[in-house]
Chain A
Amino acid sequence: MVQERRILYEHLDVPDINTFDVFRQYDGYTRFEKAIAEYQPDDVAKMVMDSGLKGRGGAGFSTGLKWSFVPKDIKPCYLCCNADESEPGTFSNRYVLEKNPHLLIEGILICCYAMGIETTYVYIRGEFTLGKKMLDAAIKEAYEKGYLGKDIRGTGLNVDIYSHPGAGAYICGEETGLIESLEGKRGQPRNKPPFPAVEGVFGKPTVVQNVETLCNLPFIIGNGVEWYTQMGPTYADTRANPPTPDPNTGTKLYCISGDVNEPGVYELDLGLTCSELIEVAGGLRGEEVKAVIPGGSSAPILTHYELDTRLDFTSLTLAKSMLGSGGIIVMNETRNIVDCLLNIMKFYAHESCGQCTPCRWGTPWVRDIVQRIADGNGRKDTMTRPKFGVAENGRWGDTGETEEIYEDLDLLESVANNIANVDTMTWNTICVFGIAVSWPAVSYMRKFRPEFEATIQEGKLVTLPVAEATVSPEENYAYQQRFVPKEFADL
């Protein structure tokens, strides 16, 4: 069985690790000291680039690359630590804040040193009262011990960290929503560009980084790039010529919840498969896996055919899903996918910030369609049409058969795709919340279409056995590839 490799979480359960003295006993702040003693700021940035570290907050964007976009000549530059953690199924940042806040401070210090940043805001979701209390206490202690404030350890380095509470809006996790919220406004995301790296909070260059991403920095500096890159797979991106390395390095704090025996946070090297993770989390609670959400509720769902998918950034992108925040939600054979989608759509309809018309109206519309289906009032036409599916050539096309028209399923897909189109990956909205709505909506419906059809047909929620509820991998693949010219289909 795959073994846990605790790095970020290694000392999490040490008593009083939240205090400076105990943290110090476990190498606390020595990595920061090493950075300022041995490396120039640019060296640190280069190490982070070479480590292949990708953002753990959702987008999975290379951290080193993000830093390289920040203009060097505009000061001040800010760091915003994203501790808004509100993606359903994600709960790893909470434990860092509540149990080991000094680790985050050390990570922040390293980032500030590398980027020449003097002010950091940690945006903590409003419900994390304990987390904020612990972090505030740790910040206070770090000031007293001379690791924050002016002229840190006699190096001339100045760093201030302030915690800033949110107030219950999911959209403030989106980086520009966070920035607006931090400025004291409604947390409504901004149009990009300009990207925060160029023009962020208070009109200045801003680095936005997730808690877990920052907590990786002490270990990259302390143990070196070579040590770090040994963990997790590095693929070759064959779209480039010559192929470029595509690193998925480091460990990930996988949060697993739902139908497993031991839900929790497991720190493992990136790249284990879905079924391995379920095994690590004490195995499935139930008989059979019906579906797995691999990266927080925004991620497209995986079926039981896809459990061999490796849970890393690249593999999940190739599987037309995403690692996102690393929140894995497992559903067993007793679950009804229509019902699950309804729950998620209620979440998104509630959390849309309301700026863009497609999202403001489309999201509740999708919710209402799913509600109607779940209530047993899903609409079905009396006419039939040619059935599209896996055609003779193995690609998506006319199968020569006819099918009944499920009006509400067509409508669901059409409304969702008009918020953000999951095939072309283009969105009619300001932020990618739109994709986070249409991804689950379309993927649940497409991959578990028989269950949706049966529910409409019967006029009540019908839970089909797993094999019957799921469309075949061939059909799923053909559908996903239907706009891709044949010669590119396997890239």
Chain B
Amino acid sequence: MSDALIQIETPFAFNEENQREFDGLIGRYPVKEAAMLPTLHLAQRQAGYITPAVMKYVAEQLEVSVMKVKDVVTFYPMFFEEPVGEYVIRICHTLPCALRDCKGVLEHLKAKLATDVASETNLAKGTTADGKFTLMKVECLASCDVAPVIMVNDDLYKNLTPEKVDELLAKLAS
């Protein structure tokens, strides 16, 4: 894809701290391209989601084509190409959690947040009107012993019940 085809809204560059971290990353691998996933994580943390400008920037840093970056971004569910809420709520719905009524927790979350569940191609569908929360279903989070579980950004919440969800949401909203 030539650069002309990419609409670039706001240019992107690492801030100082992330630049330092990136410089540390790149030395770990014999080829720069291998730093792709950690670099994209870093960029997403800074930009909120992977914009075309981010992809272009990452491609330049890693000396690969923009298409290659896009290729990777579309493959991995943890990279977002659309804006998401301040809190991303990932609810596990695989079998062990399903056996512990994750459905009830999901329905409760949907009702409380007054939103649907995001799909991979439509994150807005699961994002609350105020842009505070994005609700999405994910596969097993390797915590089936404390099912049902959700992750809110980087934190795991265990043995959930509708009451615990209420407490949690109240805490996050304040």
Interface residues of A (CB under 8 A from B): 85-91, 93-94, 125-130, 160, 162, 164-170, 181-187, 202, 255-259, 263-265, 293, 297, 327, 329, 331, 335, 340, 343-344, 347, 350-351, 353
Contact = CB atoms under 8 A, between A and B. Distances in A.
Contact of A91 (B40, B143, B151): B143
A167 B144 contact: no
B47 to A, nearest CB: 15
Interface residues of B, number: 43
Interface string B70-88: 0110011111000000000
A160 B76 CA distance: 27
Interface in B19-46: 28-31, 33-38, 40-41
Given A126-B41, A169-B75, A184-B33, 4 more contacts: A88-B139, A89-B140, A185-B36, A343-B93
A224 B71 CA distance: 48
A264 B143 CA distance: 9
Contacts of B62: 184
Contacts of A327: 144
B147 interface: yes
21 contacts: A88-B95, A90-B142, A91-B144, A91-B145, A94-B142, A94-B143, A127-B151, A130-B154, A130-B156, A164-B37, A166-B37, A167-B41, A167-B78, A187-B75, A202-B29, A255-B144, A257-B145, A258-B99, A297-B140, A347-B139, A347-B140
Contact of A343 (B78, B94, B142, B147): B94
Interface in B125-153: 138-147, 151
A202 B30 contact: yes
A351 B140 CA distance: 11
Interface of B: 28-31, 33-38, 40-41, 62, 64, 68, 71-72, 75-79, 90, 93-96, 98-100, 138-147, 151, 154, 156
Contacts, number: 140
A257 B142 contact: no
Contact of B142 (A85, A162, A202): A85
B144 A88 contact: yes
Nearest to A185: B72
Contact of A167 (B71, B76, B93): B76
Given A167-B77, A169-B76, A184 B140 contact: no
B76 A168 contact: yes
A327 B144 CA distance: 9
Contacts of B154: 129-130
A263 B144 contact: yes
A74 to B, nearest CB: 14
B147 A186 contact: no
A206 B87 CA distance: 39
A79 to B, nearest CB: 14
Contacts of B36: 184-185
A183 B31 contact: yes
B77 A297 contact: no
A86 B77 CA distance: 14
Contact of B72 (A130, A186, A257): A186
Nearest to B62: A184
Nearest to B153: A129
B161 to A, nearest CB: 16
Contact of A186 (B38, B71, B98, B156): B71
Contacts of A130: 154, 156
A181 B33 CA distance: 10
B69 to A, nearest CB: 9
B95 A340 contact: yes
- Ranked nearest first, the 8 interchain pairs of A and B with the lowest CB-CB distance are A184-B36, A167-B76, A257-B144, A168-B78, A88-B140, A168-B77, A167-B78, A129-B154
A184 B35 contact: yes
Q: Which of B64, B68, B99 has the most CB of A within 10 A?
A: B99
Given A89-B95, A91-B144, A202 B31 contact: yes
A297 B94 contact: yes
A85 B99 CA distance: 20
A182 B34 contact: yes
Nearest to B34: A184
B96 A167 contact: no
B118 to A, nearest CB: 13
Contacts of B98: 340, 343
A255 B139 contact: no
A89 B79 CA distance: 24
Contact of B141 (A127, A169, A256, A347): A127
B154 to A, nearest CB: 4
Nearest to A92: B142
A93 B144 CA distance: 13
Nearest to A84: B142
Contacts of A86: 139-140, 142
Given A164-B37, A184-B33, A184-B34, A126 B144 contact: no
A91 B142 contact: yes
B5 to A, nearest CB: 21
B139 A162 contact: no
A256 B77 CA distance: 27
Nearest to B141: A127
B95 A344 contact: yes
A255 B147 CA distance: 13
A87 B41 contact: no
Contacts of B140: 86-90, 297, 347
A93 B68 CA distance: 31
A183 B95 contact: no
A127 B96 CA distance: 18
A287 to B, nearest CB: 15
Contacts of A264: 145
Nearest to B146: A263
A160 B30 CA distance: 13
B96 A329 contact: yes
A182 to B, nearest CB: 6
B58 to A, nearest CB: 10
B41 A165 contact: yes
B94 A265 contact: no
B142 A186 contact: no
